[in-house]
Amino acid sequence: MTAFAVRALLSGLIVAAVAMLARRSPAFGALVASLPLISLLGVLWLWRDTQDPVRVADHLQATFWYVLPSLPMFLLVPVLLRSGVGFAPALLAGIALTILLYFLTAAALARFGITL
């Protein structure tokens, strides 16, 4: 339970730091947010818990494939916001697009024998 609390606290601190940085400089906050800090922490914790190179490799490969369909959200939401769409509807549209693209990506990759 202690390990979970430490992990949650550290992850939360990273998210809070990004939010604080973004207040001062949206570009710098975005730069820090774009770093795969949470993914790297997840990999480190997975390695610490399992010492399983195959599991870690599978996790990293799946992370790569899931990052790709999430990227269009970072283009759609700003376009919608600049077009006058409210924050919540714009964010929901971005999330919906990402979910749709996740399913399409998983289906497309399955055709090539890659399962996520």
Residues of the chain with pLDDT under 50: none
Please tell me the predicted confidence (pLDDT) of residue 81: 98
Half-sphere exposure of 58 (CA within 13 A, CB side): 9
> Mind listing the pLDDT tens digit for each residue in 3-22?
889 888 988 888 898 889 88
Please tell me the predicted confidence (pLDDT) of residue 78: 98
8 A C-beta contact, residue 21 and residue 32: yes
Q: Closest Cα partner for 90 from 105, 102, 74, 101? A: 74
Task: Please tell me whether residue 35 adopts helix, strand or coil conformation.
Answer: coil
On whether residue 36 sits in a domain, the answer given is no
On whether residue 59 sits in a domain, the answer given is yes
On whether residue 112 sits in a domain, the answer given is yes
On whether residue 103 sits in a domain, the answer given is yes
On whether residue 34 sits in a domain, the answer given is no
